[in-house]
A and B are shown apart, each in its own frame.
Chain A
């Protein structure tokens, strides 16, 4: 967590490489090292120098060497400004290792006041910037100064190579020691227009462990005094135009989060379910969608994803970062370019409606710090037609389903064509069909009855007996015709074994109807006769009144029977 800016002077023969040395115990925790070189005195453009691990001969084995290769060899007598930035993790040890809720967190810093170098050093100073607050103790040498929160050692002149002068600083540090034990970032590309990022965090407070009680009372009444070593929120800086942001854990949404967004960035402040004290841990997941066109571009017939590697969280150390890039199904020729070495392998992920599965590129890197938040690129080939495969599959599936339904409805699936129940069903269907026909005939009959009725009405108004007779004749003919039609139908119903329920009713109906016809005809005849004989209306009414009642009764019976039939 401490960076050491170093200025080096070199002056002998032309050299093309500069060696940097670190003790193994520090090199183990070295998360990032970067060197910038500027030739000459002018503060001009500094260029990044490539750095690699080397093992020169004849040096102590406790040291690890890095060599920065210069862009062009340094001539004799020339001066090179070299800025080296190193980032170490787990450099500060909490001491004491367990504190109570009310205590401040104290940490120990160990290093050498002399710069550990394979070269002789002319002038060197060391300054340590502390986070402010109490300094418990520090190693005192002759020219050591503590001004405000900056501790200065030196200047030392003409230091021989590999000189070492240990120092220890013990100071208060209440910065959040947020450590993600593991972070899995899943970047899923959908060519429908979205890049979905899901991040699974497992966060622990890496500082001094909490000992004894946690009292909410103390924490709430004096949060700065009691609980100063804890932290309660983290801030994530998401890219601009991030949308559908969520923050949850395995038991559901976590309601304590805030979001601000403007055109340049989206800032998400998340608060874990409880404040984190030393040694406490929690897990959560955040997810957000990004517009595709901001992160996926195409060049030379290939597409590439260009997105940052690390976590969007500020001030967080990730002990193990796994980045999974889920490419759409059907992507080919996958290639990655990352600015630093990572472990890489490929997986396959199955999602909805996948056949071959989606290729997943996995990158793993230990000890990731905010300095690693650089862009990396994933190149792949993808045909837009593949986008349509899944909708087409769905459409085809539904189409086939409906076709199958139609086919099922149109085929006879019964196992045995001779089984009695099947035959009975067939016969029953037949009976029903004929009964319907019969009903039609009876309705026609009733219509003829109505016609007769109307002709009688006309008669009473006009006294035209001839037309009335003609109507009767026509009705008679119609009745005969209908009876002819009815006969085979009735026979077929009677012969069918399924008609035992309806047959008596039907029989009854036919008889009643016949009777009704006869009565109607008879009444018609009497009325017409009496009209021809010029009898008085009153007499006619008297003569037919009894018939009238019978007719009405019959008609009602016929209708109720018909209704009964229609209900079957």
Chain B
């Protein structure tokens, strides 16, 4: 059931277009596989699975930085098991090899390296590793000694152990505290403290995937699963095993993380799918069983002894009484709980709504009315159908359109905006192979792949200064920008402009991030210079700095001549500065809908060397021309 749900969850479809996939799609497989193997080891206590688990953890480390989620979640679960007194040798086997082998393997990955033992993200796993050993030791001693001796030993161990522990922890804390970020990487910190990124690392906050999600995005990505998940949690609590407690823990942490970043919805999706699968299958289990029982009662009316020979089937009355008794006992059990918390009450409601499984012995006795079970089965099927319809819709409409080719529906039919590829094809065919193209980093990969040109910054640029340099150039006046680009050996500058057709995610809307990131490295770029009374605008109210910066000029160059007013359809107003000329850049290509504009850096004019060169080259061409024309066979 969970697999069927997972197979079409929109959250994953969003990560793959037309059969190609992101590295995150691989990573989520590795993540879930690691969890599966962990649970498998926990259930079987087999070293074989424990080893496999470490290997799949290695796979996960290779594929995604999100592996820290595993190395924190599993220790959390282990700790939970220990605290709730569920320690067993299986738990030890599941955890200890994973930490040792997994850390060794993770350290082999170049990006991770010694971070696998040095950073705070991995600290929890080692702490829990130590605690686990202490607990294992205690259990071992308990088996060896008599209770009286054990008590004595226990006090001894606890005092010594605590002292050692405190010493170690103190050293560690001192070490960790010496670093400014407390040993946490920026990414993890932005997860733990959602406001961290927007305060300190604008580049992380600038990515739309790193914004907190909205409620509609939850509904879009996991749809009806959002309603099934609570039922699944209840199923996990009846009865609570090691595996089901792990599921609950996984879900809770994933919900928190997805609440911080849209991108981590991807981590939530498998948990939601598994829990909804549990909820659905147990609901169907209860409903179909009671249906079956009721039907058999209908057909085998009378005192006749039924052929199956089971006492339950033979006399319905005893079952009914016992079942009603059972419900009574259940209620009486539930009564004190109800007082405890509202949550429990809600859960019990759901129990009576029969979405959950009852413990084994009660299972065969709980019976619902026939009509109710038929209706709720049909409703559940309808719910599933709704989910399928939504997934197909999401796959077809929302996620199948590549972001590089935009379409709009009009009365005449589908209108295709293929401007990005138009520009990239132009770059790839009509510029020199060695020319460098500067653009904001969002278009870096696309330019590299589709236009086959070197870019200054791309989506994987780690060097913040690089990105800041381009941001600074874009927010500087023309002359300064020309100098920056010239020093970077840039020939062409590419900007994305949506003002003509109303494409909202264009460079003008991203511009403030360029200013922020640029200003982070180069203090002469100040964000307030670009804002009028704290508002970002490019109309007549805009600041002169804004109206003179390169980005504004490149985007709106000769834009006013299209309609005579310069009405920007994205921002919804007329632009501030309408008539201006470019002195250091020249327009070399603009796509059909003006979405991509490419400018070339003009060569410097007043340099003598350049002049000479130019003269030489022009004389050369003229001479060849003359020679070509002179070549006359008839003379």
Seen from chain A, the residues whose Cβ lies within 8 Å of a Cβ on chain B are: 23-25, 62, 93, 97, 110, 112, 164, 166, 212-217, 221, 249, 251-252, 254-256, 273-274, 279-283, 446-447, 450, 454, 555
Contacts and interface: CB of A to CB of B under 8 A. Distances in A.
Nearest to B559: A217
Contacts of B422: 273-274
B630 to A, nearest CB: 12
10 contacts: A25-B633, A97-B625, A110-B632, A112-B634, A214-B588, A215-B558, A216-B587, A255-B405, A274-B589, A454-B305
B342 interface: no
A255 B632 CA distance: 47
A283 B429 contact: yes
Interface in B274-296: none
B589 A273 contact: no
B590 to A, nearest CB: 4
Contact of A216 (B590, B621, B628): B590
B426 interface: yes
B75 to A, nearest CB: 31
B631 A215 contact: no
Contacts of A25: 631-633
Contacts of B561: 217, 221
Interface string B525-568: 00000000000000000000000000000000010011000000
Given A97-B621, A280-B429, 6 more contacts: A212-B586, A215-B590, A217-B558, A251-B450, A274-B592, A280-B426
Contacts of B430: 279-281
Contacts of A273: 418, 421-422, 425-426
A342 B562 CA distance: 53
Contact of B562 (A217, A252, A274): A217
A447 B309 contact: yes
A23 B587 CA distance: 44
Nearest to A168: B629
A97 B590 CA distance: 24
A249 B425 contact: yes
Contact of A24 (B405, B558, B633): B633
Contacts of A212: 586
B425 A274 contact: yes
Given A255-B416, A281-B430, A166 B634 contact: yes
A450 B418 contact: no
B246 interface: no
Determine the main DSSP class of A at the interface with B: mixed
A454 B304 CA distance: 11
Contacts of B418: 254-256, 273
Given A213-B587, A217-B562, A274-B589, A282 B625 contact: no
A282 B426 CA distance: 8
B634 A215 contact: no
Interface string B382-425: 00000000000000000000000100000000001010011011
Contacts of B311: 555
B594 interface: yes
Contacts of B625: 97
Nearest to A219: B590
Contact of A23 (B305, B416, B586, B633): B633
Interface in B566-597: 586-592, 594
Contacts of B631: 25
Interface of B: 305, 309, 311, 405, 416, 418, 421-422, 424-426, 429-430, 449-450, 558, 561-562, 586-592, 594, 621, 625, 628-629, 631-634
A215 B429 contact: no
Nearest to A111: B634
Contacts of B634: 23, 62, 112, 164, 166
A557 to B, nearest CB: 13
A461 to B, nearest CB: 12
A95 B562 CA distance: 33
What 7 A-B pairs are tightest by C-beta distance, nearest first?
Answer: A216-B590, A273-B425, A23-B633, A273-B422, A251-B450, A255-B416, A25-B633
A252 B426 CA distance: 14
Contacts of B590: 214-217
Nearest to B588: A214
Nearest to A284: B425
Given A274-B422, A447-B309, A216 B416 contact: no
Contacts of A256: 418
B588 A213 contact: yes
A282 B425 contact: yes
A525 B127 CA distance: 69
A61 to B, nearest CB: 10
A110 B590 CA distance: 38
Given A23-B633, A213-B586, A215-B590, A251 B429 contact: no
B32 to A, nearest CB: 27
B627 to A, nearest CB: 13
Contacts of A255: 405, 416, 418
A473 B85 CA distance: 54
A226 to B, nearest CB: 12
Given A212-B586, A251-B450, A274 B633 contact: no
A31 to B, nearest CB: 19
A249 B422 CA distance: 11
Contacts of A213: 586-588
A84 to B, nearest CB: 20
Contacts of A447: 309
A281 B430 CA distance: 6
Contact of B426 (A24, A274, A450): A274
B425 A216 contact: no
Contact of B594 (A97, A216, A283): A216
A98 to B, nearest CB: 9
A283 B450 CA distance: 13
A252 B421 contact: yes
A446 B311 CA distance: 11
Nearest to A280: B430
A169 B558 CA distance: 39
A251 B558 contact: no
Contacts of B586: 212-213
Contacts of B449: 251
B587 A166 contact: no
A471 B234 CA distance: 51
B588 A251 contact: no
A62 B631 CA distance: 12
B429 A216 contact: no
Contacts of B424: 251
A213 B582 CA distance: 12
A237 to B, nearest CB: 25
B528 to A, nearest CB: 34
A214 to B, nearest CB: 6
A321 B418 CA distance: 30
Nearest to B402: A252
Contacts of B633: 23-25, 62
B429 A282 contact: yes
A278 to B, nearest CB: 11
Contacts of A215: 558, 587, 590
A364 B422 CA distance: 32
A112 B632 CA distance: 12
Contact of B589 (A214, A249, A252): A214
